[in-house]
Amino acid sequence: MSSDEPYVPTAEDVQSLGSLCIYMAANAAPKWWDVPTAEVLKWVSNYYLTTQEPNPADVIAGTGWSEDYYLLFDGGLGLNLSDLAPYYADLLTLVPHPQVNSFIIPVFAAFTALSTIVLALRLWSRISIAGKLQAFDWATIAAYVLIVGWGGLAVHESTAVGKWGFYCDQSWNQAHAYERAYDILTFTYPIAVLAIKISLLLFYHQLSAWRPLRISVYVTGFICFANAMCGIFLWVYQCNVPNLWDYMADVTVAMTCKLDQMTVLMAVGGVSIFTDVIIWLIPIPMVWQLQLNTRERILAICTFGVGLVACVGSVMRLVMVRKFLYYGNVDGNDSRDPINAWAVVEMNLALICACVPALRALVVKHIPKIISRTSDGTDVSKGSKGSSSYKGHGKPSIVSEEDGNTNTSELGDYPRNSNNEKPEANVKVWSPITNYKSDEYSRMRE
């Protein structure tokens, strides 16, 4: 590599060097597994440079390779080992050796704390206003547990590699733990995202018996489930070696994939973003047709539509996947922290946004002056239970439940239907915006 101008390694150089370090260390004796993988390459290079009459038996004894592995490295990669080892050992001095600068820990801590507070407030709102937790609340709790577990594993992945970001500077045991955590994260990511979406779809299903909304929920739920299953099974079974983390450095196993892994991740991620947008838009037509004044309608739409913010995290995660998925980037930094950090942001934002309607109901109950009061024209139906009288046609309505003598909507937020009946004088109902009972609201107006 001697020349007048120093050689600048390419991305391919960095990737092939990282692969060679891992393969040499993984197939060496266990004594090499806790030292940087480059040490095996350096030892072999030094042996050939300092030994006048190299003996394959010495290399096999020093590295712990089997004879088959020795023959693979010695000629099987297109170069004799006596040329290959010094070449890549020289290249090792030219490539970057970045240190790990993990930023996922503060991201995980901050968003976990925030989502924990928001979820606690949501549960308080549901219990204090609706009187109980329903299926979509339990689904949200399950999604929260999955999100926290996923983020904790992402932190473990980030710290598993130790101080250095390039594979040649990591031990085989560190690289092995890193790849195993990555594969588990990739496998479980669709499950965690699906849990959030299911909790929202269950909420919409319970919110109203309006037929177009229910159909939208069923269709969107099917697409979300099918996309998640595609993401899981394509990742695991599209390659001929499903046990990726144990065989990633076995050069005798010709791991081929029917589909390009990047293409699979981009396709599944793209469909996921599409369903994100659809889910946050599903309740908008229903809210738009409720008999609310313009100000209240806009406020209601914003309450549901705020979830579109979570789509930003989904888009940024895909951008990071495109840039940081494969190890051996041109800067030598093999960290996938940017991918995981944006995934943590995406999932926690989705969870937080899913809690916004319940938080709004909590606010308007305890701090009613923050939200404008309903107009005289806002109508609430008489006290029929749930949607038993709903025929599946006509304008949308909000499904309600009885709590003692008080009829409330799921969140105490919107009128149950849009017909032109006014509530009877002695019937206690919830105002769509203030959540004050009708007799209290009348006194406020006076």
Q: List pLDDT tens digits, range 193-237.
A: 999 999 989 988 888 788 888 999 999 999 999 999 998 888 777
pLDDT by residue for the chain (446 residues), tens only, comes to 555 677 888 878 888 898 889 889 988 999 999 999 999 999 999 999 999 888 999 999 999 998 888 888 887 777 789 989 999 999 999 888 888 777 889 999 999 999 999 999 989 888 888 788 888 999 999 999 999 999 999 999 888 888 888 889 999 999 888 888 888 898 899 999 999 999 989 988 888 788 888 999 999 999 999 999 998 888 777 776 655 556 566 666 666 777 777 888 888 999 999 998 888 888 878 777 766 666 666 766 676 666 677 788 888 888 888 877 665 444 555 667 888 899 999 999 999 888 887 877 777 776 665 545 443 434 333 333 333 333 444 455 554 443 333 333 443 344 344 343 343 443 333 333 333 333 443 443 34
Q: Are 183 and 71 in the same domain?
A: no
* Alpha carbons 117 and 89: distance in angstroms, whole number: 52
430 domain residue, yes or no = no
pLDDT for 95 equals: 87
Assigned token pair, 45? 């290079």
CATH code for the domain of 307: 1.20.1070
Strand (E) or helix (H) holding 38: helix 38-50
75 domain residue, yes or no = yes
Residue ending a domain, choose from 323, 340, 365:
365
- As a residue count, the chain comes to 446
What's the structural domain count of the chain?
A: 2
Q: Are 86 and 120 in the same domain?
A: no
109 domain residue, yes or no = yes
* Alpha carbons 292 and 414: distance in angstroms, whole number: 9
Q: Are 137 and 268 in the same domain?
A: yes
404 domain residue, yes or no = no
Q: Are 18 and 108 in the same domain?
A: no
Q: Are 69 and 191 in the same domain?
A: no
pTM: 0.74
Q: Are 114 and 75 in the same domain?
A: no
Q: Are 252 and 276 in the same domain?
A: yes
pLDDT for 75 equals: 78
Strand (E) or helix (H) holding 62: helix 56-63
Q: Are 216 and 73 in the same domain?
A: no
Q: Are 259 and 322 in the same domain?
A: yes
348 domain residue, yes or no = yes
- Nearest-5° angle of CA 235, CA 237, CA 242? 90
Name the DSSP class of 136. H
* Alpha carbons 97 and 19: distance in angstroms, whole number: 15
391 domain residue, yes or no = no
Find tokens 């240190």 and name the residue: 99
Residue ending a domain, choose from 71, 92, 113:
92
Residue-number span of the structural domain to which 19 is assigned: 11-92
Assigned token pair, 195? 């849990």
pLDDT digits (tens, 9 = 90+) for 45-93: 999 999 988 899 999 999 999 888 888 888 777 778 998 999 999 999 9
Q: Tell me which amino acid residue 229 is.
A: M
Q: Are 284 and 322 in the same domain?
A: yes
* Alpha carbons 203 and 221: distance in angstroms, whole number: 12
Q: Are 132 and 56 in the same domain?
A: no
Establish how many alpha carbons lie within 13 A of residue 27's alpha carbon, considering only the half-sphere containing its beta carbon: 25
